[in-house]
A and B are shown apart, each in its own frame.
Chain A
Amino acid sequence: MLEIGSLVDGKYKILNQVGHGGMSVVYLAMNEKANKQWAIKEVRKDGVKDFEVVKQSLVAETDMLKKLSHPNLPSIIDVIEDDDRFLIVMDYIQGNSLSKALEEYGAQPQEEVIHWAKQLCDVLGYLHSRVPPIIYRDMKPANIMLKPDGNVTLIDFGTAREFKEKNLADTTCLGTMGYAAPEQFGGMGQTDARTDIYCLGATLYHLVTGMNPCEPPYEIRPIREINPSLSGGLERIILKCTQRNPNDRYQNTAELMYALEHYDEIDDLYRRKQKRKLTAFISSLVLMFAGISVSGWGYYSAEQKQSENYDNILKEAEDYNDYYNAIVTDPRRTEAYDQLNDALVSDNVLTREEGEVLLKLLTGIDQNNSKGYSEHYEVIENLRQSNAEGYMDICYRIGESFLFYYDVAEEQDRYAYAAMWFQNAGEKYPISELYCDISECLSLIDQYNGAKIKQTDKMYEEYEKLWNMIQELYEKSSEFDDLDSKLQVWNEINQMMDTKVSPLLEITSKEELTGLLNQISADAGQVEKSIVETDIQLLQDNIDKTIKRIESAKEGDA
């Protein structure tokens, strides 16, 4: 034990004891000549069973650590050995450990955690890239110091590797051994860089949820089950880090770092659906409160009962009949419509049969009532009267489903069905009026085209309108804030032009057509969301094909 106030090695004055572990004590010391504070870690002979063995490995370990230099690691500047103790002089890190932060404040803010995660990933990458690679093996909040400037430092590095291997001869408690990866228990393969990735994943899980994976239920659940406001991207990252099989995890820190830097983009794919859920939730809340304030307690409990039934049916919904059931239970709420729609297009295809399920909402559902008799429910009409806002939301979204996913050969069918829905959503979603106009235009073109006496002039008139609307659609697409819809519309424009190259060339020039397509291609190229990179690439390839077709058609004409 070093005495407070004593001088070590002629220059370090021991100021205070700042921490202790099982076999070591950490002191704050001051180099009085240089007027700088250091931390001194003391490994005592009487604290360790085989001190000589420990000392040997400590010497080797500290020699190696002395060569390390990284902003998120404390540097070791001196090692002092004598007969009955071993002193390691290193940077004094101000601040508290993250385990302390967890203890005091519980779950940590997501942005902070991701900020730390990147730094920790960087340190691990640095360690793994040493020759030979250094595997840290003991990532946990207690070993991460949060400095006053908001950055983190990985500590507890002076311990020899021997002690990092989980000693399993004696009974140990899961809670005391950190977030050991499955392979750290031995018998399941070597520990390597992916072991550190597992422990980092477990650490992030603990930090962001406040739940210790070493406590019941001893599992790493999707983080949004614990806190739905957390990021879906982070959820996937944590789940991937903590796979049982090392081969299923990120294979190195570079992969993990890439994911951390783009975690919000992994969300993007889901954002649209999430947004839907949120609006649906809010509108149902509004409804519920309206019910309470208007009709008082008695009505409220009936309302409550109905809403419980509704929720239960929805939660267990398996096929469209269940969704119908929920809709009939309370046609004024939008969730069931929404979820039915989502479920039908979840595979990105709306087949003819699936389309019929949606169209039935317009004509009304026949369900057995409580007495067992079949009854006709005009659900969508009911929704329109009681919840105009929600009605327009639903109409717009179902319209989108038909427009983007309806899988039938006739393009005007797609538009016609979409228009049936869009026409009711115009007030809230101006773009749906445009879709309706396009639909009308397409069906007129079809009529003129199919007529026995071709009305070519009128048809080209319609094409002219269509071309204007396509351009308008492109302009409107820039107002969309979510990437998914934007890409959908761009694809739509390209597809429409691709199938109508020759009539469009009759009413406008090659330059205008290719100009618009190039513009879209350039817009798509500027999107920096790497996660939809393949989608963008596909769009650009398709646009190139259309442009080639336009150019060759022109040549043919000339």
Chain B
Amino acid sequence: MNYLIAADTDIGITKTTNQDSLSVKILQTQQGRMVFAILCDGMGGLEKGEVASASLVRAFDEWVRNSLPSLCNLPLEDAVIRAEWEHIIQTQNASIQLYGEKSGVTLGTTAVVMLLTSSRYYLLNVGDSRAYVIGEAVKQLTKDQTLVEREMELGNITKEQALSDPRRSVLLQCVGANPAVYPDLFFGDVQPDMVYMLCSDGFRHEITEEEIYGQLAPQMVCDEYSMKQNIRRLIEWNKERQEKDNISVIVVRTF
């Protein structure tokens, strides 16, 4: 499998800091080419949110550098990836929390982590950042860990009410805020000629799925230059429509 990758982030129009952190890279392993991507949306009082998101990105990057190569000596198994990633999340959760206690602030971060091999995708999610796959249509792969999502599942509110619910930015989970964190993991088969996208909530509030499809459908992005152009366009649309949050996105196209 071959991959094209692109990523962009923007501080947005109101915030004084960009608390999103991200990383995406193509890896050459014993099992062929893979893509690793992570996107974290930090939050916290004052200027500390990016501390949480950056440290989580660094921790996963370290795992890619130090642990993944040896794991690739054997066929990758869902359970192994799950165990490894959950361990990183727990460790980071504890250390971010400790940092917060020491400096007297509460901080935390969402996380959406993806590993694409030639046959399978592995996804981890905490919070409300999302992973999508774009082929014939735009399909969400992760499930938000938010209060409104849960209320919707319980049947307390409808999808339409959820969009305007005052609680829509309340997360059930994030890394670093609670003593315990329970990430969701998702696995599936990778298809060629698809676009995999990770984004922060700032990227998707103001634009529609149709607009995303229009810019990032597989036939629209056949080289990294056009990928970059198109995600920049989507980010600018968000800002024109007064999105207040930081805006970040990673796209990976398989072929």
Instruction: Spell out A's residues near B (CB within 8 Å).
Output: 20-23, 25, 47, 103, 168-177, 185-187, 212, 214-216, 218
Contacts and interface: CB of A to CB of B under 8 A. Distances in A.
B167 A185 contact: yes
A218 B172 CA distance: 8
Contacts of A214: 178
29 contacts: A22-B46, A23-B45, A47-B46, A168-B167, A168-B169, A168-B170, A169-B244, A170-B43, A171-B128, A172-B170, A172-B171, A173-B43, A173-B177, A173-B178, A174-B147, A174-B170, A174-B171, A174-B173, A175-B177, A175-B178, A176-B108, A177-B170, A185-B147, A187-B165, A187-B166, A212-B179, A215-B182, A216-B172, A218-B150
Contacts of B46: 22, 47
A186 B108 contact: no
B108 A173 contact: yes
Q: Which of A174, A177, A212, A216 is packed against the most chain B CB atoms within 10 Å? A: A174
Given A25-B104, A176-B108, A218-B172, A171 B41 contact: yes
**Which 10 residue pairs spanning A and B have beta carbons closest together?**
A175-B178, A20-B104, A173-B174, A173-B177, A187-B166, A185-B167, A186-B166, A176-B106, A171-B169, A175-B177
Interface range on chain B (Cβ under 8 Å from partner): 20 to 34
Interface string B21-65: 000000000000000000001010110000000000000000000
A136 B219 CA distance: 57
A22 B182 contact: no
A103 to B, nearest CB: 8
A23 B171 CA distance: 23
A172 B43 contact: yes
B178 A215 contact: yes
B178 to A, nearest CB: 4
B243 interface: no
A174 B172 CA distance: 5
Interface in B185-226: 201
Interface of B: 41, 43, 45-46, 104-106, 108, 110, 127-128, 147, 150, 165-167, 169-174, 177-180, 182, 201, 244-245
Nearest to A188: B166
Given A170-B43, A173-B108, 9 more contacts: A47-B46, A169-B169, A171-B41, A171-B169, A171-B171, A171-B245, A175-B177, A185-B167, A216-B172
B209 to A, nearest CB: 21
B41 to A, nearest CB: 7
A176 B49 CA distance: 14
B180 A215 contact: yes
B201 A171 contact: yes
Contacts of B147: 174, 185
B132 to A, nearest CB: 19
Contacts of A168: 166-167, 169-170
A23 B46 CA distance: 10
A25 B128 CA distance: 32
Nearest to A22: B45
B39 to A, nearest CB: 14
Contacts of A212: 178-180
Nearest to B42: A171
A284 B191 CA distance: 57
A185 B41 CA distance: 22
Contacts of A47: 46
Contacts of A176: 106, 108, 177-178
A185 B147 CA distance: 11
Given A25-B104, A173-B108, A218-B150, A185 B170 contact: yes
Q: Which of B165, B170, B182 is packed against the most chain A CB atoms within 10 Å? A: B170
A21 B106 CA distance: 9
Contact of B106 (A22, A185, A186): A22
A21 B105 CA distance: 7
Contacts of B150: 218
Contacts of B182: 215-216
A86 B41 CA distance: 33
Given A186-B166, A218-B150, A171 B43 contact: yes
Contacts of A20: 104
A216 B180 CA distance: 9
B119 to A, nearest CB: 31
B17 to A, nearest CB: 12
